Amino acid sequence: MRVVHPGLLSLLQDSGRRGQHRIGLTTGGPLDRAAFDCCNRLLDNPAGSSAVEISFGGLQLEAQVDTFFCVTGARMPVLLDGREVPRWEVHPVAAGQRIALAFADGGCRAYLGVADGFDVPPSFGSSATVVREGIGGLRGEALRADDVLPCTAVRQRRRLYLPPPQQPRYQNTTTVRLIPGFQQRHFSRPQQRRFFSHPYTVSERCDRMGYRLEGPAIECALDGILSEGICFGAVQIPPDGQPIVLLNDRQTIGGYPKIGSALSLDASRMAQLTPGGTVHFAPISPRAAHRALHLAHRFAAHQRLPERGA
């Protein structure tokens, strides 16, 4: 695939870079893991195959080989040679044809995959692009015009699709379930009640590192802590009291106290919010969080994907 126009921010991503925190490299990978995984399942690709994450839209590609493609995630109209085709469905594309994604009108992250995935050499075990670290993808940066995304010619693929009733509905509000952390005891009961009972607004300062939120300030009895490792979804409370939900491209260590960690399922949904969106927090126990994850994985594994024309 040749990049005709890269859009606002388009990044090659696989499932993420694991086991490299010890040398200061973060995870990367897709912000909306559910949409990314569904894209690969629809294409019958191995789990975690490289795809393009498109933020806000505007990507245009020209096929150089005959293959199949699929777009999942945010509501970005998909055009094949100027004709709109459904998202969440596998489509054939011939060499010379152009794929264009318009700008999102619901959600903000979409995933474009091809049959067998994009063949991108791994960097530190992964093709995930982390611009801040300059690794992954083609050059450790966002796609540019005339970049070529390597993929193989594929003549046959099942035309699987996700029925509309099962497709996610991206709204501009979401509830994030929070698993308490060991530093939660340093937030008084009134401060915790304030945190869980008030909505927060997604600020303009939201990106792949984390979502900065605006709302009632939260106070912590700790002025600061020694820098320590940070997990995905950790909710830091900096001195201004405004929560930051840390995401895929987060730093590997930090020194702000953390009130807990967002359930990964909900962090993926939150990453589809645009500035001005609303986030509510709700506590969840570790046991309930494990149950929710197991149920989600089991549902995905047994989800029936019908075939077009079958």
Q: Over the stretch 190-220, which tens digit does the pLDDT of each residue have?
A: 999 999 999 999 999 999 999 999 999 999 9
- Report how far residue 40's alpha carbon sits from residue 23's, in angstroms, rounded to the nearest whole number: 30
Least trusted range by pLDDT, from 140-144, 222-226, 285-289: 222-226
The answer to whether residue 305 is domain-embedded is no
- Report how far residue 171's alpha carbon sits from residue 178's, in angstroms, rounded to the nearest whole number: 20
pLDDT band at residue 309 under the 50/70/90 scheme: confident
| Residue 109: exposure state from Cβ atoms within 10 A (0-12, 13-18, ≥19) | buried
- Report how far residue 252's alpha carbon sits from residue 144's, in angstroms, rounded to the nearest whole number: 28
Verify that 81 and 99 share a domain, yes or no.
yes
What is the count of structural domains for the chain?
Answer: 2
Verify that 180 and 86 share a domain, yes or no.
no
Supply the range of the domain harboring residue 22.
2-166
Verify that 191 and 224 share a domain, yes or no.
yes
The answer to whether residue 307 is domain-embedded is no
Give the residue-averaged pLDDT of 41-49: 97
Verify that 147 and 179 share a domain, yes or no.
no
The answer to whether residue 308 is domain-embedded is no
The answer to whether residue 304 is domain-embedded is no
Q: Over the stretch 72-101, which tens digit does the pLDDT of each residue have?
A: 999 999 999 999 999 999 999 999 999 999
Domain boundary among 121, 148, 166: 166
Domain boundary among 166, 196, 229: 166
Q: How high is the pLDDT of residue 52?
A: 98
Q: What is the 3-state secondary structure (H, E, C) of the chain?
A: CEEEEECCEEEEECCCCCCCHHHCCCCCCCCCHHHHHHHHHHCCCCCCCCEEEEECCCEEEECCCCEEEEEEECCCCEEECCEEECCCEEEEECCCCEEEECCCCCCCEEEEEECCCCCCCCECCECCCECCCCECCCCCCCCCCCCECCCCCCCCCCCEECCHHHCCCCCCEEEEEEEECCCHHHCCHHHHHHHHHCCEEEEEEECCCEEEEECCCCCCCCCCCCCEECCCCEEECCCCCCCEEECCCCCCEECCCEEEEECHHHHHHHCCCCCCCEEEEEECCHHHHHHHHHHHHHHHHCCCCCECCC
Query: Above 70 in pLDDT, residue 178?
Result: yes
289: CATH: 2.40.100.10
The answer to whether residue 205 is domain-embedded is yes
The answer to whether residue 24 is domain-embedded is yes
pLDDT band at residue 144 under the 50/70/90 scheme: very high
Q: How high is the pLDDT of residue 225?
A: 81
Q: Over the stretch 93-137, which tens digit does the pLDDT of each residue have?
A: 999 999 999 999 999 999 999 999 999 999 999 999 999 999 999
Produce one character per residue of 248-274: b if its CB has 16 or more CB atoms within 10 Å, e if not: bbbebebebbbbbbbbbbbbbbbbbbb
**Predicted model pTM:** 0.96
CA distances from 23 to 18, 208, 231 (A): 11, 20, 15
Q: How high is the pLDDT of residue 310?
A: 63
Domain boundary among 166, 192, 220: 166
Verify that 149 and 179 share a domain, yes or no.
no
Query: What percent of the chain has pLDDT above 70?
Result: 100
pLDDT band at residue 260 under the 50/70/90 scheme: very high
Verify that 211 and 144 share a domain, yes or no.
no
The answer to whether residue 310 is domain-embedded is no
